[in-house]
Amino acid sequence: MHWSDSRLEVHKVVVGPYDNNVFVLRCRETGESVLIDAANEHEKLLELCRALDVKRVLETHGHFDHIAAIPAMREAGYEVGVSSADAPMLKKVGYDVFIDDAEVIEVGKLRLHAIHNPGHTPGSISFLIEGAPVLFSGDTLFPGGVGNTKAALGDFDAIIRSVDDKLFTLPAETVVMPGHGVDTTIGTERPHLQEWVTRGW
């Protein structure tokens, strides 16, 4: 258990050679869950899925270190969602449905809002839990800066605009759970935006 309140639980495991964070959001009332980023170590993730009644998999983006477990997940019957812009990156592993910007995904009685955050990849998505101060930011926002934009398809200006316009408008106490490393908060990171722009990463 990584975070919880009376309505929900967030479980976290760290997998693979790049220490990817995989999160499971679970509705306490119904027991239903979703898994965010089928990154690696599919045996461990499938065990977690069975234990927590996971219904589907949501991908924050299409980079290889976040999608390695997808074939095993799909073979086990789990539907995988990804943005249409990043879908070409999943050509080898497959996917099932598109996640649209501003889509609301129901997880039992919980509602998860998809937020399109281009920059790290063209189709990067963050997920905000309605009624709870929790944001799953993928590789868009970390403690101390935005995600890497130097790889192919990266766009530094786009990620800065996206973080400023869509994430830094959230309440300061919002807990940011990134795709690697430790949590932070919107209030901790927001004052440093201009520093990131100045340094260029």
89: closest CA among 67, 118, 120? Answer: 67
Give the pLDDT score at 17. 98
Per-residue pLDDT band for 64 (boundaries 50, 70, 90) equals: very high
Q: The whole model's pTM is what?
A: 0.98
**High-pLDDT (> 90) share of the chain, %:** 100
When pLDDT is cut at 50, 70 and 90, the band that residue 137 belongs to is very high
Query: Cβ–Cβ contacts within 10 Å for residue 161, how many?
Result: 14
Q: Contact at 8 Å (CB) between 145 and 138? A: no
User: How high is the mean pLDDT of the chain?
Assistant: 98
Domains of the chain: 3-199 (3.60.15.10)
For the segment 1-47, what is each residue's pLDDT rounded down to a tens digit? 999 999 999 999 999 999 999 999 999 999 999 999 999 999 999 99
Mean pLDDT of 146-175: 97
Q: Residue 134: its pLDDT value, please?
A: 98
Report how far residue 138's alpha carbon sits from residue 94's, in angstroms, rounded to the nearest whole number.
19
In single-letter form, the type of residue at position 140 comes to: T
Rounded distance, CA 160 to CA 137, Å? 14
What is the average pLDDT across 140-165?
A: 97
CB-count exposure of residue 81 (10 Å: 0-12, 13-18, 19+):
buried
